[in-house]
Structure 1
Amino acid sequence: MGAIRTPREKWLEAGLRALVAGGPEAVRIEALAQSLGVTKGGFYGYFRNRDALLAEMLDLWEREVAESVIEEVERGGGDARERLDRLFGLVAAASEGPVRGVTADIAIRDWARRDPAVAERLRRVDNRRADYLRSLFSSFCPDEDEVEVRCLIAMSVRVGNHFNAADHGGRGRAEVMELLRRRLLA
Structure 2
Amino acid sequence: MVRRTRDDWTEKALRALAEGGLGAVAIEPLAAREGATKGSVYHHFKSRKELLRATVERWEREHTEKVIELVEAELTPEARLRTLFATVLDRTHKGSVEMALQAGADDEVIAPVLRRVTEKRIAYLAVLFEQLGFAPEQARKRALIAFSLYLGQAQMWVTSPELVEPVVDEAVEVLLRRG
TM-score by length of 2: 0.83
Q: Does structure 1 residue 95 correspond to structure 2 residue 92?
A: yes
Q: Is the 8 A contact 1:14 1:35 kept in 2?
A: no
From 24, 31, 34, the equivalent of 1:33 is: 31
Displacement of 1:69: 1.0
Name the counterpart of 1:158: 150
Cα distance change of structure 1 residues 142 and 21 upon mapping to structure 2, 3 Å threshold? closer
What do residues 133-155 of structure 1 show as CA deviations (whole Å, max 9, x unaligned)? 00011112333443233212221
Q: Is the 8 A contact 2:64 2:121 kept in 1?
A: yes
Q: For CA contacts below 8 A with separation 6 or more, give which structure has more relative contact order.
A: 2
Name the counterpart of 1:11: 9
Q: Report 1:99-114 matches (<5 A).
A: 101=95, 103-113=96-106
Write the letter of the residue equivalent to 1:180: A
Distance (Å, rounded) in 1 between the aligned partners of 2:165 and 2:53: 35
Name the counterpart of 2:82: 85
What do residues 37-57 of structure 1 show as CA deviations (whole Å, max 9, x unaligned)? 323232123222222101101
From 116, 124, 131, the equivalent of 2:116 is: 124
Write the letter of the residue equivalent to 2:34: L
Cα distance change of structure 1 residues 35 and 147 upon mapping to structure 2, 3 Å threshold? same
* Structure 1 residue matching 2:104: 3-state secondary structure: helix
The number of aligned residues is: 175
Displacement of 1:164: 4.4
What do residues 46-76 of structure 1 show as CA deviations (whole Å, max 9, x unaligned)? 22222210110111111112211111111x2
Name the counterpart of 1:184: 175
Distance (Å, rounded) in 2 between the aligned partners of 1:131 and 1:10: 31
Cα distance change of structure 1 residues 126 and 13 upon mapping to structure 2, 3 Å threshold? same
Distance (Å, rounded) in 2 between the aligned partners of 1:130 and 1:175: 24
What do residues 13-43 of structure 1 show as CA deviations (whole Å, max 9, x unaligned)? 2222333444433322121112223232321
Q: Is the 8 A contact 2:10 2:54 kept in 1?
A: yes
Structure 1 unaligned runs (5+)? none
Aligned alpha-carbon RMSD (Å): 2.6
From 131, 138, 157, the equivalent of 2:130 is: 138
Q: Is the 8 A contact 1:80 1:140 kept in 2?
A: yes
Name the counterpart of 1:174: 165
Which ranges of 4 or more aligned residues in structure 1 deviate by more than 4 Å? 164-167
